[in-house]
Amino acid sequence: MRFPSLRTLSIPLIFGAALASRILAAPVDKPEPHADSPAVAAGPSTGPYDYEQAKKFWSFQPINEPPVPAAANPQSVLTSVDAFLAADYAVHHLKPAPPADKRTLIRRATFDLTGLPPAPEEVEAFLADASPNAFEKLVDRLLASPAYGEKWGRHWLDLVRYADTSGCNSDFPVPSAYRYRDWVINAFNKDMPYDQFLQEQLAGDLLPAKDEAEHNEKTIATGYLAIARRFGSRNNEFHLSIEDVIDNCGKTMLGLSVSCARCHDHKFDPIPSADYYALYGIFASTKFAFPGTEIYRHPKDFTPIGTAEEGKTLREYEAKVAEVDDRIERLVRERDTLASREKANSSPSTQAAAPTSQPARTLAQVKAEYAEALDEQKKLDFKAPLVDKAYAVSEGTPADAKVQRKGNPEERGEVVPRGFLTILGGQKLPPGFQGSGRLQLAQWITEPKNPLTARVMANRIWQNHFGVGLVKTPNDFGSRGQRPTNPALLDYLASRFQAGGWSVKSMHRLLMLSAAYQRSSDDDASDYSIDPNNDYFWRQNPRRLSAEEIRDTLLVVSNTLDPKPAGPHPFPPESEWKYTQHKPFYGDYPTNHRSVYLMQQRIRKQAFLAAFDGADTNATTAQRPISTTAIQSLFMMNDPFLHDQADKLAVRVGLAMNDDPSRIDYAFRLCFARPPTAEESQSGQQYLHACAAKLADAHVPWDQRNRQALASYMRVLLGSNEFVFVD
């Protein structure tokens, strides 16, 4: 087995000139241009593009289900997926790797679907099952596990840059953001159709519901929009948040760098600036929950999910608080102005000057009124109604947006009707439409004729089972992204995805029951010389566990994982929120729940996730970079959390078994899903004996020596490559 080279991802910058005539001729292995590239004139036109020519580009062509190729060796084909790959093997003279052994297969599948290791008894049961559909039964059992939604929900949370804080310069906490996180997890567990999954996140509050509870759930789904990054220290600095929404929506759902058209017509893909502002108007017509900032520290416009009376109470309270906040800011400006004027009038250089007109109010009067407002604010802080809220969106004031020339909101151009991307249909809202247009946008994105949505998600599912997508740039299906290595297979998967009711779980079954998924990761010298990057998937790709999988596995083997959903975080009460850009919020709440439930901050990563390449909470993460650093090694040797789990693992194996050989055997089965070799068992026993002798020399009490020696040996196992890699 060849472990991948683990290097930190570096992304070169691309500087390019406008090339309307070369949109589709650009190289495919370079990243997208940055949105702040030199601007060209922006206007309401559809841009300098030949759309008929642009639609010939592979990702803009309609999805058509290709016929399944006839396989030269039908015995090697378990599903239609294998037939498409076999055609590549024949063309490139590749010999696919043999099947993986059953121990490798159950560990691979269990991590891929649940993010957790298989229990020793689960491994033994799978080994003992000689039925021809043993693996199919295993896959179905894993898909039915609540842990499945926690694993695959985390993939989605990576894409939508989920965080429990706002991202402004004070990084205010958002206590109810967890509801969206849990909604995502539950949606995967229920196998919610993917088109519905997207629609509810964009416009759940506008969709029909059978009752109030269902309406609340669909409203919570719009937390996808609400968790957009916030900027600045005031409550009116919002254009960058809308830019963040458009950027994420474009990359996550459509695989397009739409935000590159913010300042100018897109230089490489057929997306004019007018299309960008057609989308901008939809989100600018939406009211986003306000989480609080340094100057306006009180949350506002959250959606109540209790009774109608509770909602009315919350709205009345928020209105009172907003009025006081506005008054305080006005008084602060007035106070500072009067103080400056008073200081200037008292200086020697101005004493002989002509008297100025007296202000309508004195500094003392303003200070007194300011003190009264602060007192009123303090009283309101302690009268906040206890109402369940969702960090969500609602309908705002509908209006078409004006083009912001060069992306500057202070330089407005022509009005652009709200609508969709021209290359994907260019649908527009009816003139005078009284609504944001979010529901229509959700329908346009999930329209079966849209050639991107199904392709993008099918590619993501493939990527997370095979280590890399058929399209290796999963967030960029445009001209600067890479072409699919097997376009017929990608279209087949996308068409089956739609025909199967957009079921993600059905896609798991289709891919995992293939011979391709079940292959070993063994190298073949001839194949490697032809296809060193495994572009044609002649073997499986080994992978390092994600940060969450490493932490969760440590908790599993030490028998300390709490498998229940974690619920909200223990944030300080809102009455204590006085965060500023100089003293922003920071919190870290240790828990034995799964890592998907860890509190995620925008401006400061959780330490464990940061060390092991966790997702960026500020930008969509389609592929996690994998690094190998000294910090990771030092953590596995020295961190108190690791030592604690190793000690608990030592207690677990020490209590379960009576002698060193059986303890070593049990520890291997827990950590690696296999027994040790004779050599590994012997060297383990030698290590334990030598360690116990050194502890005796150090005068450690005899009743603690065996436990400490065993804990030391557990740290060796937990720090090994085999523990953190899936073959």
* pLDDT reading at 48 higher than 90: no
* pLDDT reading at 41 higher than 70: no
If asked whether residues 292 and 316 sit together in one domain, one would say no
- 317-326: long-range pairs with CB below 8 Å, 24+: 317/380, 317/383, 317/384, 317/385, 320/380, 321/377, 321/380, 322/296, 322/298, 324/373, 324/376, 324/377, 324/380, 325/295, 325/296, 325/297, 325/298, 325/377
Question: Which of 446, 464, 483 finishes a domain?
Answer: 446
Which position has the higher pLDDT, 47 or 491?
Answer: 491
**CA torsion, ordered 331, 319, 569, 188, to nearest 10 deg:** -130
If asked whether residues 683 and 698 sit together in one domain, one would say yes
Average pLDDT over residues 571-592: 92
Average pLDDT over residues 166-172: 94
CA distances to 101, 135, 406, 419, 449 from 127, in Å: 10, 10, 63, 55, 45
Question: Token pair 């696919």 is at which residue?
Answer: 96
Q: Which of the residue ranges 336-350, 456-470, 552-566 would you say has the lowest mean pLDDT? A: 336-350
**Predicted pLDDT of residue 46:** 65
**Predicted pLDDT of residue 351:** 52
pLDDT digits (tens, 9 = 90+) for 512-544: 999 999 999 999 999 999 999 999 999 999 999
Write down the pTM of the prediction. 0.89
Average pLDDT over residues 662-684: 97
pLDDT digits (tens, 9 = 90+) for 340-375: 887 887 766 555 544 555 557 888 888 898 999 999
**Predicted pLDDT of residue 103:** 97
User: With pLDDT > 70 as the criterion, what percentage of the chain qualifies?
Assistant: 91
* Cα–Cα dist 182/165, whole Å: 16
User: With pLDDT > 90 as the criterion, what percentage of the chain qualifies?
Assistant: 75
Contacts of 445 (CB under 8 A, 6+ apart): 198, 202, 249, 253, 254, 420, 453
* Cα–Cα dist 84/585, whole Å: 52
Tell me whether residue 13 is in a domain: no
Q: Report which DSSP code applies to 159.
A: H
If asked whether residues 269 and 199 sit together in one domain, one would say yes
Q: Are 487 and 522 in contact (CB under 8 A)?
A: no
Give the pair of three-digit tokens for residue 536. Answer: 């044609």
* Cα–Cα dist 301/483, whole Å: 43
Give the pair of three-digit tokens for residue 588. Answer: 């870290």
Domain range for residue 423? 193-300+395-446
* Cα–Cα dist 152/113, whole Å: 7
If asked whether residues 254 and 359 sit together in one domain, one would say no
If asked whether residues 383 and 422 sit together in one domain, one would say no
Half-sphere exposure for 576 (CA within 13 Å, toward CB) = 5
If asked whether residues 246 and 261 sit together in one domain, one would say yes
* Cα–Cα dist 593/599, whole Å: 11
**Predicted pLDDT of residue 309:** 87
Query: What is the pLDDT confidence band of residue 96, given thresholds at 50, 70 and 90?
Result: very high
Contacts of 13 (CB under 8 A, 6+ apart): 34
**Predicted pLDDT of residue 28:** 33
* pLDDT reading at 253 higher than 90: yes
Tell me whether residue 642 is in a domain: yes
CA 228-285-210 angle, 5° bins? 85
Tell me whether residue 341 is in a domain: yes
Q: Is 412 helix (H, G, I), strand (E, B) or coil?
A: strand
Domain total of the chain: 3
Q: Which of the residue ranges 160-174, 299-313, 391-405, 453-467 would you say has the lowest mean pLDDT? A: 299-313
Q: Are 496 and 514 in contact (CB under 8 A)?
A: no
Average pLDDT over residues 310-320: 89
If asked whether residues 250 and 283 sit together in one domain, one would say yes
If asked whether residues 410 and 355 sit together in one domain, one would say no
If asked whether residues 279 and 355 sit together in one domain, one would say no
If asked whether residues 283 and 225 sit together in one domain, one would say yes
Q: Is 723 helix (H, G, I), strand (E, B) or coil?
A: helix
Which position has the higher pLDDT, 646 or 315?
Answer: 646
Average pLDDT over residues 654-677: 95
pLDDT digits (tens, 9 = 90+) for 207-245: 999 999 999 999 999 999 999 999 987 766 788 999 999
Tell me whether residue 507 is in a domain: no
Reported in sequence order, the residue ranges of 462-559 that DSSP labels E, i.e. its strands, are: 543-544
Question: Token pair 């639609």 is at which residue?
Answer: 55
Query: What is the pLDDT confidence band of residue 307, given thresholds at 50, 70 and 90?
Result: confident
* Cα–Cα dist 24/56, whole Å: 9
* pLDDT reading at 251 higher than 70: yes
Q: Report which DSSP code applies to 32.
A: P
Average pLDDT over residues 401-424: 93
* Cα–Cα dist 328/288, whole Å: 23
* Cα–Cα dist 1/310, whole Å: 60
Question: Which of 387, 408, 423 finishes a domain?
Answer: 387
* pLDDT reading at 334 higher than 80: yes
Tell me whether residue 270 is in a domain: yes
Tell me whether residue 10 is in a domain: no
**Predicted pLDDT of residue 288:** 95
Tell me whether residue 176 is in a domain: no
**Predicted pLDDT of residue 2:** 41
Question: Mean pLDDT over all residues of the chain?
Answer: 89
Is 211 exposed, middle or buried (CB count within 10 Å of its CB: 0-12, 13-18, 19+)? exposed
If asked whether residues 202 and 284 sit together in one domain, one would say yes
**Predicted pLDDT of residue 357:** 55
* Cα–Cα dist 555/574, whole Å: 32
**Predicted pLDDT of residue 182:** 98
- 716-720: long-range pairs with CB below 8 Å, 24+: 716/687, 717/667, 717/668, 717/671, 717/672, 718/554, 718/557, 718/636, 718/642, 718/645, 718/646, 718/649, 718/671, 719/633, 719/636, 719/637, 719/642
Q: Are 118 and 673 in contact (CB under 8 A)?
A: yes
Question: Which of 430, 446, 462 finishes a domain?
Answer: 446
**Predicted pLDDT of residue 172:** 95
CA distances to 22, 155, 397, 596, 718 from 563, in Å: 53, 19, 43, 11, 21
* Cα–Cα dist 324/248, whole Å: 35
* Cα–Cα dist 5/680, whole Å: 26
CA distances to 320, 578, 614, 704 from 583, in Å: 27, 9, 25, 45
Contacts of 368 (CB under 8 A, 6+ apart): none
- Kindly state the greatest CA–CA separation across the chain: 104
**Predicted pLDDT of residue 401:** 94
Tell me whether residue 705 is in a domain: yes
Which uninterrupted H or E stretch holds 496?
Answer: helix 487-499
Q: Report which DSSP code applies to 449.
A: T
pLDDT digits (tens, 9 = 90+) for 117-155: 999 999 999 999 999 999 999 999 999 999 999 999 999
If asked whether residues 270 and 315 sit together in one domain, one would say no
Rg (CA), the chain: 29
